[in-house]
Structure 1
């Protein structure tokens, strides 16, 4: 079966229509292509900031049905989201279909629809439609608040709004390397942030934990990220980056601002990871179901305290093996407390990381599961920000 004649170019038609359509009508734009398949009931689901639910748009379909949010765990939409594969189920009114909405490896959500038929040609087209939907979501977010509002499952405080605006996409893949990050509490986060950038075969990564909470911490986090990106784009090495960020924090003013930080640089072709810690927990390297021991090194002070002692510590280089994973994290993960006061702890984190890594799950799902485990231990209430940035290298 040929879904469309070659001359109709449905994907091109969507992109052309999107050039002049109102940016908050992206679902209507996508629905035009589904009509060409004889389909109906197009719903765009975007994952919420905590990555536990998929939030639907529009609120009401033409025949009056009101789409409900779908759980990431335990729903067909959630299965399509977590697996990155289309899902289809035949029902009385036709085929109910869910396709991932993914930009590169950044999981944005799911596009659902009802179709009269389902075969390889239709599946191929719907998969491409999911890629187009991701493009529309990313571009429309520059012109309308709709994608941002869709992702809110609850009220978000100002500090969290500021923090999320700083972050890069939550996942990225190039060549044999994938990186995925997440932070909690998603709607109240203040001081944690992370960044990464790929340039000419080198992947730079950084995790920061700014002192305090709330807006003041978010302002400091913004300074950290700005100084880091500025120095990185100026071609500075890791030691120079530490000095640049420390200087920026020290002239910030306020009541002795400081932040711990972990800066890393990964040569993808060589499989060589180099990192430097500024008062921050060391990365955890996981290999074939177990984690490597910490490295003994001279401790350095957090960023912003360079006038007291050295903030430039030892530069550590690790040769990774194909299949290795590396986890950067903030202390809010291991310091999460259960109701009885028991800490989540580094040993528990290492054990869970080893198991999740060995399972071969996608890095995005590994990070999501680690965050869920942390929240479960703390009875869903964290007293400090918890951030994870996970890299997997497949050689």
Structure 2
């Protein structure tokens, strides 16, 4: 008993020390603690951290976990201790065996085998793993099973479940219900959100074991890579993620899109294109390197297969110029020439082409008849980017003006098609730029991850139209948080 009391005292003292290093107020700590499953009230936590009260071991460990997650963000090494031994977070022993089983199990494996491979990897860690993939509209999480045995009724709603919260926030969420203790772990491929892992554990204490959480993150990232890779070999993942059949036009565009989210160093870009099953001519693309981010959002006129072909040709021309190392002028001119030669003068696309220097934040852009891009800073629109004008591409681009602006760290760059601002309700009232900026102001204040802001925006635009979109709606959001460093810099 005395050992337990001594351990509790040591833990309480470490919490006070770590809390100072974490630069957290008691209120901030309490909110973080509640967010990962804590149950004690504010006054109880306040008394505990000031040495005036005690908490049960599990609640102490959740509090320590909340502080340590903040310290991880600050990369500080002096952490709060736990009331019991926890798993080793280093890649050895069971954790190493789990990773090896996952790698060996997917060698020459068809996509259908991934659920059983994940289950075998989980057994090496002493847990049970189920993969849930998000549908392409990002509305529900569907368990990954063979299409012939999958139960569509077992899907989990993104907006109303704890699994959905893990997906939205890209943070592990613990759950202790009658179904048993489990962790909901975001399934990620880099910055791309693919779904969640349901990790069933034997003990409630395991829910706040930091070593287990680290091990689950490793499995999540490796499984995320496998989902992306194996999706090129078969259709089982697409069948899981599709709620209704896509049109041929939609299939054409979706086959050309990059991952919805990607990031390098201090830059993240995310895009959403809706409605995903009747999409006509909207598209987006990006390319990221050590020094530069290149972006494009475009919209071809029409609502049939021809508009999809035009958009596909524009994307291909943009990539061709980009792969050759050409800049914005050459990219715009090649798109213009390609569309004009293949489809004639009556066809064109509007587009914004942009290039961001990741060291300086210098943004250069061309607007070919498209809605003006926006820069948001501290929740407010700095100013619409109204320069960089030229005619829509395909109709003879003529003179090209390149606009320029310098971003500050944390600025949000907003590129969208007119399916966002011109989305109208039954009375004909457009969603408009004012609603767009008000929405972004609210959502950025809550500090949602960038892909979650994009998902919520598309949902708001669809809701504005009473769930019956009349046109494509595409949003591309990019945030530059800090200058990139040259390779080898310290």
Report the TM-score range of the alignment, normalised by the length of the smaller protein. Answer: over 0.9
1:36 Cα offset (Å) = 2.5
Determine whether 1:337 maps to 2:433: no
Q: Secondary structure at the match of 2:200?
A: strand
Structure 2 match to 1:283: 373
Alignment of structure 1 residues 204-215 onto 2, 5 Å = 204-215=294-305
Which residue pairs with 1:199 in the alignment? Answer: 289
Instruction: Give 1:25's match in structure 2, choosing from 113, 132, 148.
Output: 113
CA 1:116/1:346 → structure 2, altered by over 3 Å: closer, same or farther?
same
State the partner residue of 1:323. Answer: 410
CA contact (8 A) 2:372 2:386 kept: no
Conserved 8 A contact 2:132-2:144: yes
Per the alignment, do residues 345 and 66 of structure 1 end up closer, same or farther by CA in structure 2, a change over 3 Å counting? Answer: closer
Runs ≥4 residues deviating over 6 A = 64-67
What is the rounded CA distance, in whole Å, between the counterparts of 1:140 and 1:295 in structure 2?
A: 40
Secondary structure of the structure 1 residue equivalent to 2:403: strand
Identify the residue that residue 12 of structure 2 maps to in structure 1.
none
2:434 alignment partner in structure 1: 347
Change (3 A) 1:214 1:249: same
Distance 2:109 2:342 in 1: 43
- Where does structure 1 lack aligned partners over 5 or more consecutive residues? none
Pairwise CA RMSD of aligned residues? Answer: 2.2
Deviation for aligned residue 1:92: 4.2
Q: 1:81 aligns with which of 146, 167, 173?
A: 167
Give the match for residue 256 of structure 1.
346
- Alignment of 1:166 with 2:252, yes or no, is no
- In structure 2, the CA distance between the partners of 1:298 and 1:223, relative to structure 1 (3 Å rule), is closer
Equivalent residues in 2 for 1:105-124, closer than 5 Å: 105-117=191-203, 118=206, 119-124=209-214
The answer to whether the Cα contact below 8 Å between 1:203 and 1:268 also exists between their aligned partners in 2 is yes
- C-alpha change, 1:105 and 1:338, in structure 2 (3 Å) is same
CA distance in 2, matches of 1:239, 1:124: 46
Q: Partners of 1:99 and 1:386 in 2: how far apart?
A: 30
SS of equivalent residue, structure 1 residue 321 = coil
Contact 1:279 1:299 in 2 (8 A): yes
- 1:66 & 1:151 partners in 2: Cα distance? 11
Say whether the 8 Å CA contact 1:189–1:214 is kept in structure 2. no
Say whether the 8 Å CA contact 2:409–2:481 is kept in structure 1: yes
CA distance in 2, matches of 1:388, 1:376: 16
TM-score relative to the length of structure 1:
0.93
Deviations, residues 262-307 of structure 1 (Å, cap 9, x unaligned) = 000000110111100111111111011210223554742111000x
Q: 1:208 to 1:65 in 2, by over 3 A?
A: closer
Please tell me whether residue 103 in structure 1 is matched to residue 189 in structure 2. yes
Flag the 1:329–1:140 CA change in 2: closer, same or farther, 3 A.
same
Distance 1:10 1:164, change over 3 A: same
**What is the alpha-carbon distance in structure 2 between the residues aligned to residue 358 and residue 274 of structure 1?**
27
CA shift, 1:369, in A, is 1.4
Aligned to 2:359: 269
Deviations 1:95-114, CA, capped at 9 Å, x for gaps? 12211110111001111132
| 1:357 corresponds to | 444
| 1:48-91 deviation per Cα after TM superposition (whole angstroms, max 9, x unaligned) | 1111111222279x9x9987111111111101111111122123
Hey, what's the Cα distance between the residues in 1 that align with 2:433 and 2:196? 34
Greater fraction of residues in helix: 2
Q: Distance between the aligned counterparts of 1:7 and 1:168, measured in 2?
A: 32
Q: Does the C-alpha gap of structure 1 residues 99 and 264 become closer, same or farther in structure 2, counting only changes over 3 Å?
A: same
Question: Are the counterparts in 2 of residues 325 and 357 from structure 1 also a CA contact under 8 Å?
Answer: no
Deviates more, 1:253-262 or 1:1-10: 1-10
- The count of aligned residue pairs is 390
- Tell me the SS of whatever aligns to 2:212: helix
Task: From the superposition, tell whether residues 105 and 7 of structure 1 become closer, same or farther in structure 2 (CA, over 3 Å).
Answer: closer
**1:232 partnered with 2:305:** no
Shift of 1:219: 1.0
Distance 2:298 2:479 in 1: 20
Query: Which structure exhibits the higher relative contact order, with contacts defined as CA atoms closer than 8 Å and separated by 6 or more residues?
Result: 1
Q: Which has the higher strand share?
A: 1
Aligned-partner SS, 1:133: helix
State which of 241, 248, 260 in structure 2 corresponds to 1:151: 241
